[in-house]
Amino acid sequence: MESFLSQYGISLKEDEQKYRSIISNKIFLAGSTIIISYPLASFPLSTFNKFRCDQCLKTSNDSTPLRTCSKCQCVYYCSRSCQKSSWVTHHKWLCSNYTKSKGAEDNDEEMLNRVSILIDKFLNDEKLDNKGYLFETFFQLMTHRNDDHVMNLIKFERISTKVHEILKFKKVTKDDLINHLCRFHCNNFTIHDSQLFIYGEGTYPIGSLFNHSCRPNAIVMYDGAIQIIKCIQDISIGDEINISYVDVALDRATRQKLLREKYFFKCQCPRCSSDEPHSGILTKIDQLIEGEECETTKQGSNNEEITTLILSNLLPHLKNNTTKTDYINSLYEIISTLLEQNHLFYISSLSSTTKLFYDQIDLKRWNQSTTLGKYILSIYLLIYPRYHPIIALHLFTLGKCYWNDITGGFESVKEAINILECAKKVLNITHNEGDENKDVIKQVNDLLIMAKKEVSY
Ligand SMILES: C[S@@+](CC[C@H](N)C(=O)[O-])C[C@H]1O[C@@H](n2cnc3c(N)ncnc32)[C@H](O)[C@@H]1O
């Protein structure tokens, strides 16, 4: 595994609190891909199984629709070669289960079926396309079996008994199966498309080596079933590389609860603790979204003024690739100003405003949608790292609203160009790997070309 990681300029370091951490051995610039890896097993969620190939998880297209397995008629494939790979890796053993409608009851069971069939072959010394490093990495992942909730363990025991009875392994024991289920619980990934909509689940042993931070320097993207880990800021030699296990827009108490209950640790990242150089500012983000409501609290008052303050200070940093220190300093000044003036944001109001934003888009009320969209963008910029896929996608949607807003005339087109230029910059960092992701960059480019033509007439 070490030699696999070193090809990518990263290594594992032992860590007292986290067991191990991924450390960079070279400089990664924002937007570069840190590592691309394959799953031990993955599958589309049941609602997507007619639209995504069961093996590579890519979507069908009009010229080549997905074809179903003629025996069970439960899974779909994009090509003969995917169907063949699926047959030899797991489907040969599972097809009759699906036919008899004794298929997996839930995703944990489906994943256990697929992973344990492969592990049994591996333990029987079957050649598995040089994937030995994936198995070794998987076996070393933490199980947290002693920490897991008793109700989960009861469920894992039940699933393991069923899977062990049906699949009749040569080497894998029932106890191994319980360990694997515990590993899935604190290591597995949901798989999302370029718009961050979830369509599948996967066991990615390499991706599972990355620890969590509430202010991550890396993100996880996908191309079908392939996992892509990208850095979203420049990373120096010796830095730890972190992804985020939870939505960083959540308030601290909710993040801590989720991390404790699912991953069994207390987060001490720069946003949750205070011994890092920039932690002063990062801990302030949580003060801003968690403040006690009191008489002097101005929640949502004078939104226009706040939005203008935030966007005029932070958007130029997105466009001009300023240094991380310059960006953090600007963020610090704004957050301090907002806190001094008692302006607090409530995450509940962010989700209701977002819903309203999309309602206005559905009703084609472009002018109202741009006002709401700008407000949402300003809050996102306070909470998320600047080169984050959520910011990229929101900028694109907002740019489209400005473009559609003919009531705003020329000014609206100019603002569309400004916002779309920012979207392009961020997407070039977050979405520059994988066909589905790159397609979003192409869409922004096409719209920008049209908008610029309009201005030049
Ligand atoms: C997906 S694994 C990450 C890799 C793990 N450190 C290893 O060496 O296998 C998740 C587990 O790592 C540990 N972990 C991840 N991020 C952490 C953090 N920020 N602080 C403490 N422990 C962390 C927790 O035990 C968690 O359940």
**Residue 405, both tokens:** 């807003």
- The residue behind tokens 């001009």 is 320
> Backbone phi, then psi, for 230, in 5-degree steps?
-120, 150
Minimum-distance ligand 1 atom for the alpha carbon of 212: 16
16-22 — which CB contacts under 8 Å span 24+ positions? 17/265, 17/268, 18/211, 18/265, 19/142, 20/209, 21/211, 21/240, 22/209, 22/210, 22/211, 22/240, 22/241
| pLDDT exceeds 60 at position 299 | no
Distance (angstroms) between ligand 1 centre and the Cα of 230 equals 19
ipTM for this prediction: 0.99
Tens digits of per-residue pLDDT, 139-154?
999 999 999 899 999 9
Q: Give the CATH superfamily of 1-38+204-269.
A: SET domain (2.170.270.10)
How many residues does this entry show for the chain? 457
Q: Write out residues with Cβ below 6 Å of ligand 1.
A: 17-20, 141-142, 144, 186-187, 208-209, 211-212, 263-265, 267, 269
CA of 216 to the centre of ligand 1 (A): 14
Of residues 326 and 456, more confidently modeled: 326
Nearest CA to ligand 1 atom 11: 263
Global pTM value: 0.93
Separation between Cα atoms, residue 65 and residue 84, nearest integer Å: 17
How far is CA 94 from each of CA 45, 107, 115, 212, rounded to the nearest angstrom?
A: 16, 14, 12, 34
Nearest to 75 by CA among 105, 45, 107: 45
- Exposure string (b/e) for 15-25, b if CB count within 10 Å is 16 or more? eeebeebbbbe
Q: State which ligand 1 atom lies nearest to the alpha carbon of 144.
A: 27
Residue from 212, 248, 271, 276 whose mutation best tests the ligand 1 pocket (most atoms within 8 A of CB): 212
Per-domain residue ranges of the chain: 1-38+204-269, 39-189, 277-456
Mean pLDDT of 241-269: 94
191 closest CA partner among 217, 232, 228? 228
Q: Give 83-138 pLDDT, tens digit per residue.
A: 999 999 999 999 998 876 666 779 999 999 999 999 999 998 877 667 889 999 99
Ligand 1 centroid, distance to 269 Cα (angstroms): 12
Q: Which of 407, 403, 397 is nearest to 416 (CA)?
A: 403
pLDDT in the model for residue 103: 66
Please give the residue that has the higher pLDDT: either 370 or 277: 370
User: Distance, CA 278 to ligand 1 centroid (Å)?
Assistant: 22
Residue 198's DSSP bridge partners are 192
- d(Cα 253, Cα 96) in Å, to the nearest integer? 46
Confirm if 449 and 413 have CB atoms less than 8 A apart: no
Q: Which atom of ligand 1 is nearest to the CA of 142?
A: 9
CATH (one of 1.25.40.10, 2.60.40.10, 3.10.150.10, 3.40.50.10320) for 277-456: 1.25.40.10
CA of 339 to the centre of ligand 1 (A): 33
**Per-residue pLDDT tens digits for 371-409:** 999 999 999 999 999 999 999 999 999 999 999 998 778
